[in-house]
Structure 1
Amino acid sequence: MLFSSFPSPPLSLMMEEAELCFPQLLNRSCRKHTRPHSDTMLIYIGMSSTDLLTASLNLLVIISISHFRKLHTPTNLLLLSLAVADFLVGLFVMPLQIFLTEPCWFLGDLVCVLFYFLLSIILLASVVNMVLISVDRYVAICDPLRYPTKITQKRVQIFVLLCWICSVFYNFLLLYDNLKQPGRYNSCYGQCVINYNGAVDVVLFFIIPITAIIILYMRVFVVAVSQARAMRSHIAAVTLQRSVTATVKKSELKAARTLGVLVAVFLMCYCPSYCLTLSGYDIVMGSSINTFIMFLVYFNSCLNPVIYAFFYPWFRKSVKLIITLEILQPNSCEANVL
């Protein structure tokens, strides 16, 4: 029997291979940075629990508004569209984001591009939904007499549909080069890199929409304060802009406050991400800053249904009917949850 003896590889080479995403590829593989095990476990537990909570709570919102006919209002239809976006975040985006917290990407170039494509569609749809919600509250508070004719169920359905179609079409154009040739911008194996015109994207779908939202809600706030003072002083009507005289319902004022909180939370969660993009700061994949920024964006999807539960009695009532399986009863869709 013959035995062959081969010298052991140098220790430096073994350590170098241990730092590579794909050791078998040597020079073509990306290097990976190490992270303490405790930090990794904390990220996994935090992301996984938030993911489960996000998908579950938003599914309750979707079932509530879709099932109960009393909730089929233009405003709730916009909330339904937002809940669908948030549900997709919990169902698809956050599980893949857990892989992105790792120093190396092991799911391939196509999955990488599709992940960012889906993420961009959802984020853009959420921004446009927020603008539509702000417009809805603006008309309801500032022009209440014309609200039923201006904001109809059919019009809102059309705008929501256009919102999603435009989100898909715009992001297809934005990421076309990446979709056509996945991985073309990767400098080594183990990266998940996409390239697009970030400046145009930030201006068109952050600065302009956010400015519109703030202006609309400032106007809503001024009129709401005027109405509240008028109610306290027992004035039957308040003269609004353009000499239109009307009284806003108390329920509309409450809805405006609730949706104002929704918009404020949205801004707090999304602003750091866009501000970092504007600053030109280079984010390293799997870094703590990247993980925290993206977690903040996704956490907004979890907070939205919590806000509904806090401020909307109809959501609490409908969730009770869903959990107790009373929605399986005949004619349960006619239940009065308002």
Structure 2
Amino acid sequence: MEEPDEAELCFPLLLNASCRRPAEQRGAADLVVYVLLSFVSLVTVTLNLLVIVSISHFRQLHTPTNLLLLSLAVSDLLVGLLLMPGRLLRLGGCWFLGSAACGGFYLASFVLTSASVGNMVLVSVDRYVAICEPLSYPSRVTRTRVKVCVCLCWSCSLLYNAVILRHFLQRPDRYSSCYGECVIQIDAVTRVFDMALTFIGPILAIVALYLRVFAAAASQARAVRSQIAAVTRQAEGPARSSSRKAATAISVVVLVFLLCFFPFFCSTLIPSGGSASVAFYVFGVWWLYCNSCFNPLIYAFFYPWFRRSLRLMASLQILQPGSCDANVL
């Protein structure tokens, strides 16, 4: 009997327990994919780090809305720093980091996905109050309340997913058939419940809130154009225009978020087993991750304060004393 080729094993020293490497296809296309995905990971980390530094450093940016964007940028940063490299490692066919890291990877994946959805719901609520109830916005949406909501969002995401994955986290290798494998299995009932709670429910809430936001924005636009609002337009026009611009930017963020999340959750409904379903799932996961790279690009396009912050950081003026009080608005 021939001995198995050690080069085909994930762990050559464990001949009887190691997983076999998948069929090697290291052509030019595979190399391009790895380089491209690695570049996306690097760009995601860099851009979101710039968003975090900008909002954290400059006092003018310490607004309730920007605190929500800061929370979203933290989750996006962790996606690029933890999840993208982990998925790249799994694309290679062998998991070399051990069972504990496997459990941590899946926990981080679930928590960051739930936290991102929660942050989007909070952003939608913030825009709803700002546009539909502008007079009560300063008193109802304060920085303290936003910080509490963000902490609750992250805490609930961690607790909820720790409960769902409790059996898997106790033994992260329970579904692995050999060393070098990192897999998880979730029963159909839990999967449907999780989808309803972390995707369908929040999406319906976001859509409902933005329908109200767009209706209110359209109503305000008609009022500004009318003769009755001719006097108040000069006093309230700039503020309303600023609110509408902010609503437009946030709306693009939410729309891109929905477009990136939809293929992933659709892929989870397809029965696994075929190569087509696996390929679609991998595409859905990476398209979902790309949302973390798109968000800071949207900020750079829509928000002048982010572009000004980038210029101050690029010129190293951010290192000067008192730079935190610089005018970036």
TM-score, normalized by length of structure 1? 0.88
Structure 1 SS opposite 2:269 = helix
Q: Which residue does the alignment assign to 2:44?
A: 54
Report deviation, 1:187.
2.4
**Greater mean alpha carbon deviation, residues 190-199 or residues 165-174:** 190-199
For 1:263-302, list aligned pairs within 5 A: 263-282=254-273, 288-302=279-293
Unaligned runs of 5+ in 1: 1-8, 238-245
Distance 2:229 2:164 in 1: 52
* Counterpart residue identity of residue 229, structure 1: R
Moved more, 314-323 or 190-199: 190-199
One of 58, 79, 92 as aligned partner of 1:89: 79
Partner SS for 1:224: helix
Rounded to whole Å, the distance in 2 between the matches of 1:189 and 1:335 is 54
Shift of 1:283: 7.4
Matched, 1:223 2:216: yes
- 1:106 Cα deviation from its structure 2 partner: 2.3
CA distance in 2, matches of 1:129, 1:122: 10
1:101–1:287 Cα contact (<8 Å) kept: no
Q: Does 1:258 align with 2:249?
A: yes
2:115 & 2:274 partners in 1: Cα distance?
Answer: 24
| CA deviation map 1:22-46 (0-9, x unaligned) | 4554554444243342232122111
Alignment partner of 2:313 out of 316, 322, 325: 322
Greater displacement, 247-256 / 47-56: 247-256
1:40 match: 30
2:131 aligned to 129, 136, 141, which one? 141
Amino acid at match of 1:177: H
Moved more, 299-308 or 113-122: 113-122
Go from structure 1 to structure 2 and tell me whether the alpha carbon gap of 1:142 and 1:191 turns closer, same or farther (over 3 Å shift): same
| CA RMSD of superposed structures (Å) | 2.3
Tell me how far apart the structure 1 counterparts of residues 225 and 299 of structure 2 sit (CA, whole Å).
27
Trace 1:93-242 onto structure 2 (pairs within 5 A): 93-196=83-186, 197-236=190-229
Inter-partner Cα distance in structure 2 for 1:73 and 1:39: 45
- Which segments of 5 or more consecutive residues in structure 2 lack a partner in the other structure? 231-235
Cα distance per residue 1:196-250 (max 9 Å; x no partner): 322211110000001111111111111112222322334429xxxxxxxx98711
2-structure distance, mates of 1:260, 1:280: 33
Runs (4+) of structure 1 exceeding 6 A deviation are: none
SS of equivalent to 1:278: coil
Distance 2:282 2:96 in 1: 17
Alpha-carbon spacing, 1:108–1:70, altered in 2? closer, same or farther (3 Å): same
Residue 302 of structure 2, aligned match among 311, 318, 332: 311
Q: CA deviation at 1:47?
A: 1.2
Bigger Rg, which one: 1
Q: For residue 34 of structure 1, give the secondary structure of its aligned residue in structure 2.
A: coil
Q: 1:181 offset after TM fit, Å?
A: 1.1
Instruction: Write the deviation string for residues 54-99 of structure 1: whole angstroms up to 9, x where unpaired.
Output: 1111111001111111111100000000001111112222112110
Shift of 1:109: 1.4
Q: Can you list the C-alpha shifts for 1:171-212, whole angstroms capped at 9, x where unaligned?
A: 111111111112011123332112332221111000000111
Checking the alignment, whether the CA contact within 8 Å between 2:268 and 2:281 is kept in structure 1 is no
State how far apart, in whole Å, the 1-side matches of 2:204 and 2:137 are: 23
- Residue 240 of structure 1 is matched in structure 2 by none
Q: Distance in 2 between matches of 1:282 and 1:136?
A: 42
Normalising by structure 2, we get a TM-score of: 0.90
Answering whether residue 97 of structure 2 is matched by residue 78 of structure 1, we say: no
Letter in 2 for 1:48: S
Decide whether aligned partners of structure 1 residues 139 and 146 sit closer, same or farther in structure 2, where only a CA change above 3 A counts: same
The whole-number CA distance in structure 2 between the counterparts of 1:29 and 1:332 is: 55
Q: Which 10-residue stretch deviates more, 95-104 or 127-136?
A: 95-104
Further displaced range: 256-265 or 326-335: 326-335
Distance 1:114 1:308, change over 3 A: same
SS in structure 1 of the partner of residue 211 of structure 2: helix
Contact 1:101–1:291 (8 Å) recurs in 2: no
2:267·2:281 contact (CA, 8 Å) conserved in 1? no
306 and 235 in structure 1: CA distance in 2 versus 1, 3 angstrom threshold: farther
Tell me the alpha carbon deviations over residues 111-156 of structure 1, each in whole angstroms, 9 at most, x when there is no partner.
1111111111111111000000000001111111111111111100
* Alpha-carbon distance in structure 1 between the residues aligned to 2:226 and 2:25: 62
Q: How far, CA to CA, are the matches of 1:126 and 1:283 in structure 2?
A: 30
Farther off after superposition, 323-332 or 102-111: 102-111
- Number of aligned residue pairs: give it: 319
CA 1:231–1:35 in structure 2 vs 1: closer, same or farther (change >3 Å)?
farther
